[in-house]
Amino acid sequence: MSGDSTKRPGHWAASQRKHYQKGGIGGWFRRFRDETVFELLKEEDHRIIDLGCGEGITLEALKKRFPTRTCLGIELNKESVETCGSYDLPVLNGSIYHLAIRTGSTDCCLTMDVIEHLDYPEDALKEIHRILKPGRSVIVVFPNDRNFFWSRLICLKWKEAFYDPGHVKKWHPKEMEKLLGKMGFRVTYRRNVPFHLWSLSLYHIIQAEKR
């Protein structure tokens, strides 16, 4: 399949850990976002897969938060997979469109900062639906690009404001809810962060169960 990749610029993917190790409000907000997602995980979510895990920042936090659960990352970029390996994180090199995971074997899938990079989001959700157990969920997190642009300008982060993030589509929460319903999911939770209104927020978090 053509376009069987995420369109993440190499220079950005290669500098994720260095970027967030700087701390500041960006690092704080990422931790806040991740913790908000982790709170959605249920006790019965024993096998969790972080799709498009990058250099494993969220995966590492997930393993620390839930040390007795099976947490696995899937990442297309080989350099990022190698970085994960250097931190002893369990990550497989692979495509979100063709997951080497048994059908109906997964309790929860995380797709954080991923769906906006995909040429074929329907195919990705179809594959996620395949590997999930009945009644188990996917958590999709995607950005509000416009607000990220302005927030970076306000914080005087000029390079970050104007770099190309490689986003194929700027998603709206209503569009995502409609797509999930079309692909066989039932939305159970939605939230904008850090504010209630999408027009003021940086991210939307949506959880949906496999029907």
Q: Does residue 4 form part of some domain? A: no
Q: Which residues pair with 6 in a beta bridge?
A: 118
Determine the 3-state secondary structure of 112 from DSSP. strand
For residue 26, what are the domain limits? 10-156+189-210
CATH number of the domain at 48, please: 3.40.50.150
* Per-residue confidence (pLDDT) for residue 177, from 0 to 100: 98
Residue 2 in domain: no
Predicted pLDDT of residue 178: 98
**Is 175 domain-assigned?**
no
How far apart CA 137 and CA 107 sit, in angstroms, is 7
| Residue pair 59/53 in contact by the 8 Å Cβ criterion | yes
Q: What is the pTM of this model?
A: 0.87
pLDDT digits (tens, 9 = 90+) for 66-116: 999 999 999 999 999 999 999 999 999 999 999 999 999 999 999 999 999
**Is the distance from CB of 149 to CB of 161 less than 8 angstroms?**
yes
Domain count, the chain: 1
pLDDT of res. 8: 44
What per-residue confidence (pLDDT) applies to 208? 98
Residues of the chain below pLDDT 70: 1-15, 19-23, 148-156, 158, 160-164
